[in-house]
Chains A and B, each alone.
Chain A
Amino acid sequence: MTRRVRIVLGLGSLAVLSGLLVWGVTGLPDLGHPRGPYADLAPRMMLDERHVANAVTGVTFDLRGFDTLGEEMILFAAALGAAVLLRAQRTEHEAEAAAAMEEERGPGTADALRALGAVLVGPVLLLGVYVVVHGALTPGGGFQGGVLLAGALLLVYAAGQVAAIRRVRPVALVEVADAVGAGAYMLVAVAGLVFGVAVMDNVLPFGTTGSLLSGGTVPVLSIAVGVEVTAAVTLILSEFVDQMLLRHGDG
């Protein structure tokens, strides 16, 4: 295929794509005026019947809590798959990897980066916990807070402390946390069946709107997802880190 044909083909498909995009966007409802009753009913229902101030988290963990259960299992399976696939290779190189771990703390990291990483660990950790536990009140929730918490652990690595990250993310503990987070969500779902009328039924007292424990099972599920996401993301990323260090040992 010559360059000329490629350019004509590329511009042609770009024109078609932009045409489709413009056509689609002009058909969208105006900003703030959604079609159908769902957008108005869901926040009102969350506030009146569940005492949840942040309707988005309410929908995620109550109204469509069953969907979130599926999503959590997807992440759990992804972390499990990454660990199984990458760890099979690790046993072959275990000794070299251990040597590489010590080596990696060499002069590769700038002092400014180490200092910045060390300074940011605390605030990011605190922000992550805040976002997880305030899911029912303000924007945020288990997923966002969980990735933030995993990010805080990564900052420990960015600070050049591979030895330290071994201590703060003992693999066995991270794996257990992953399973506990996923299992806790399951248990809350089944609790609805046992103590209520259906799976995911919100069986806990709803509390006062605006207080930390308002919304019944919503904050409980938010924390369960927070634990699961923190562990899963930490597990996946630390397997990646180990992969990188592993080859380092070979070289």
Chain B
Amino acid sequence: MTVLQSVCLIAVAVAGTAVVLTRDPLRQAVAFGTLGLALSVLFLAFGAPDVALSQIVVAGVAVPVMVLLALAKIRVEERAARDEEGDG
């Protein structure tokens, strides 16, 4: 195993732990994207560039965007509920 591969494995372990330890969903979405990027570099270091590309687009684009949009919807609904309470 080369130095690059070892560094990548450690980076994935650190990023994965960071995702678990992050409690705020908004920050978690960003942390998850970082984990995805670390994983894609790992795949590249182990000679799988095709998988690395898929990893980037899924973990770096698709999943965080879906989480962020869901969070935005929840936030808007919460604000609407608060406004109604304020009026009544």
Contacts and interface: CB of A to CB of B under 8 A. Distances in A.
Contacts, number: 58
B63 to A, nearest CB: 11
Interface of B is mostly: helix
A133 interface: no
A148 B53 CA distance: 10
A209 interface: no
B50 interface: yes
A234 to B, nearest CB: 11
B79 A251 contact: yes
Nearest to B71: A244
Interface in A71-90: none
Contact of A143 (B54, B70, B76): B54
A44 interface: no
Given A147-B61, A151-B57, A237-B65, A140 B50 contact: yes
Interface of A: 31-32, 54, 56-57, 131, 139-141, 143-144, 147-148, 150-151, 154, 233, 237, 240-241, 243-244, 247-248, 250-251
B69 interface: yes
Contacts of B61: 147-148, 150-151, 154
CB-CB nearest 10 A-B residue pairs: A251-B80, A139-B49, A147-B57, A240-B69, A56-B50, A144-B53, A244-B73, A151-B61, A139-B50, A247-B76
Interface of B: 1, 46-47, 49-50, 52-54, 56-58, 61-62, 65-66, 69-70, 72-73, 76-77, 79-80, 83
Nearest to A131: B53
Contact of A31 (B1, B50, B65, B83): B1
A224 B53 CA distance: 19
Contact of B54 (A32, A54, A144, A244): A144
Given A151-B61, A244-B73, A251 B49 contact: no
Given A240-B70, A248-B76, A251-B79, A147 B50 contact: no
Nearest to B51: A56
Contact of A251 (B50, B58, B70, B83): B83
Nearest to B57: A147
A31 B73 contact: no
Contacts of A139: 49-50, 52-53
Most chain A CB within 10 A, of B46, B61, B80, is at B61
11 contacts: A32-B47, A139-B52, A140-B50, A144-B54, A147-B62, A151-B65, A154-B61, A237-B65, A250-B80, A251-B76, A251-B80
A154 B57 contact: no
A251 B73 CA distance: 12
Nearest to B62: A147
Most chain B CB within 10 A, of A150, A233, A244, is at A244
Contacts of B76: 244, 247-248, 251
B66 A237 contact: yes
Contacts of A141: 50
B53 A31 contact: no
A247 B66 contact: no
Nearest to B70: A240
